[in-house]
Structure 1
Amino acid sequence: MTAFAELHHRTEEALLLPNAWDHASATALAAQGFRAIGTTSLAVAAAVGLPDGSPATREHTLQLALTLGTEPFLLSVDAADGFSDDPERVAELARELSVVGAAGINLEDGLGSAALHARKIAAVKSAAPDLFVNARTDTYWLGDGDFADTLVRLDAYQQAGADGVFVPGLTDPARIAALVRHLDAPLNILYSSTGPTVPHLTDLGVRRVSLGSLLYRRALGAALDTVRDIRAGRSPRGAAPSYAEVEAWGNRRGISEASARA
């Protein structure tokens, strides 16, 4: 079992996976003690003016993984639907991510064909056996929360070789507990301010809690709040890292330098 997989099998504490969007955000999070960090496809796409999940973001996703893959934290890459309907093309992406140092990949079904998504998972596991595949279903995120369909899809993804499964949008504790009892693979839930806390999710049996695009969206929100305050003649609210801290996070020595300044 890989080090990243082991983090999904702890019973005392769910893996809280923050999602970064560039080198500075990733190393800043690592400096806070996070052993594993994910990327967020929304931020990767938004940064280059593309819609989330667009096939055109494939190379940008790879470039970010290349930037982060050699850093001293475990990296999981949000690859949307694999940026292709061709399982072999998705497998090639997984192989490239593994080569540059990624420990995991997140693949979403977008409520499309479960059979096709299962074939993608199987192809990825064949091409990059050590890459942790987190198979996401969007039955609650894009659909109406069909629990029976959720079970059918997750069963197919487990059988195809998924190492973990992800159900964003699910916040009901009873349904979460029922899924945990049904599954063999670790369950990943997307954190929601209106849902269970991380300790509660751990008690329910959830093994991974992702933040998705939340940190990126809050960073944009903080930037807008700041400029509104300045325009209105107010002092900006909230804390801001120093120039030197951001400079440290932005280079390849960022973690050690940031830690030394703390």
Structure 2
Amino acid sequence: MSETREREKGVPSNVGSMIQTERAAAFHALHGDLLVLPNCWDAASAAVIEHAGAKALATSSAAVAWSLGTRDGNMLDRGLMLEHLQRICAVATVPVSCDVESGFGDSAADLAETTRLVIEAGAVGVNLEDALSGALRPVEEAADRVRVVREAADAAGVNLYLNARTDSYLLGAADFEGTVARAVAYLGAGASGIFVPGVTDLEEVARLTAAIDAPVNILTGPGAPAVPALKEAGARRVSAGSSLAGAIFGHIERATRELLEHGTYDELAGPRSWGEMNGLFA
């Protein structure tokens, strides 16, 4: 029975499977050097990104939300997110990580259920944020939530890569020492790596990577140092976040304006053809 047919019948085709075990191990191993993730948001973007050479895929919660007509920031319906994730995992032949924002629920039971469902969909990694409604959770509470995810993943039999995200720099809510303290707490609770968005200064990246005894994920985009410089500073994971989706949607707007206002097609030049896109899907 194909994975697609199993999904159609509601059977969690990847849970505990050899394929998912192998992809989880491969995803962990990719953080030993430098993993670059141009984040996806649906099956088509995932297929294009993998075809372009990405060794793994990771969703952007913002991009997924926008594609579904929803604002980013814990506004996305979990069921809709999971439908997208299932479709992404169905077309992917590389490891997939899912941005679960703050976990789709405040209770431990909700968070454990989110973890179980994400793994059931085929993911082998998650990003879990420590902020909610623009404020950092107390470090003990945030660490407890990391522990819940780890225990739920262990119960599912998958060595989930748990990328614990701290928004301390992004919110201006903690200094270097506070960020490192959060990282230590999250790693002690079972995190695999630490995601610190809001930092691209190479000296600060180097300080963080030297102080945190785990792979550090940096959010990059226009204006940030090039990937080789971030690697030299010690980063072991570089994510594009929502910037790739933003660039694509911006191009759609430019092409539309040209077509409507000028009746020309320059912005449509050089796209993937119908045949090329169709060929990405079995």
Q: Same fold per TM (> 0.5)?
A: yes
- For residues 194 and 202 of structure 1, what CA distance do their matches in structure 2 show? 16
**Structure 1 residue 74 and structure 2 residue 103: aligned?**
no
1:84 to 98, 105, 109: 105
Is residue 104–residue 131 contact of structure 1 (8 Å, CA) maintained in 2?
yes
Q: Could you report, residue by residue, the CA deviation over 1:122-143 in whole angstroms, capped at 9, with x for unpaired residues? A: 1111111311100001112222
Q: Could you report, residue by residue, the CA deviation over 1:15-62 in whole angstroms, capped at 9, with x for unpaired residues? A: 001111111110111111212011111122122222213354211221
Residues 61 and 29 (structure 1 numbering): CA distance in 2 closer, same or farther, change over 3 Å?
Answer: same
2:277 to 233, 242, 246: 246
1:181 counterpart SS class: helix
- For residues 88 and 254 of structure 2, what CA distance do their matches in structure 1 show? 29
- For residues 81 and 144 of structure 1, what CA distance do their matches in structure 2 show? 17
Please identify runs of 4+ aligned residues in structure 1 that moved more than 4 A: none
- For residues 76 and 215 of structure 2, what CA distance do their matches in structure 1 show? 31
TM-score (normalizing by structure 2): 0.83
Identical residues among aligned pairs (%) = 38
**Structure 1 residue 47 and structure 2 residue 50: aligned?**
no
Shift of 1:144: 5.3
Q: Aligned ranges for residues 203-218 of structure 1 at < 5 Å?
A: 203-218=232-247
- For residues 252 and 69 of structure 2, what CA distance do their matches in structure 1 show? 18
Residues 163 and 107 (structure 1 numbering): CA distance in 2 closer, same or farther, change over 3 Å?
Answer: same
Q: 1:178 maps to what in 2? A: 207
Q: 1:188 maps to what in 2? A: 217
* Stretches of structure 2 lacking an aligned partner (at least 5 in a row): 1-23
- For residues 173 and 89 of structure 1, what CA distance do their matches in structure 2 show? 38
TM-score (normalizing by structure 1): 0.89
Q: 1:7 maps to what in 2? A: 30
- For residues 20 and 247 of structure 1, what CA distance do their matches in structure 2 show? 18
**Structure 1 residue 116 and structure 2 residue 167: aligned?**
no
Is residue 216–residue 236 contact of structure 2 (8 Å, CA) maintained in 1?
yes
Residue identity matched to 1:149 = G
Shift of 1:145: 5.8
Q: Could you report, residue by residue, the CA deviation over 1:150-172 in whole angstroms, capped at 9, with x for unpaired residues? A: 11211111111100100111011
Structure 1 stretch displaced more, 140-149 or 85-94: 140-149
Q: 2:265 maps to what in 1? A: 235
Q: 2:54 maps to what in 1? A: 34
- For residues 90 and 55 of structure 1, what CA distance do their matches in structure 2 show? 16
1:157 counterpart SS class: helix
Q: Could you report, residue by residue, the CA deviation over 1:63-93 in whole angstroms, capped at 9, with x for unpaired residues? A: 1221122421110101111111112311221
- Alpha-carbon RMSD: 1.7
Q: Could you report, residue by residue, the CA deviation over 1:182-204 in whole angstroms, capped at 9, with x for unpaired residues? A: 11110000113222210011111
Shift of 1:8: 0.4
* Stretches of structure 1 lacking an aligned partner (at least 5 in a row): 254-262
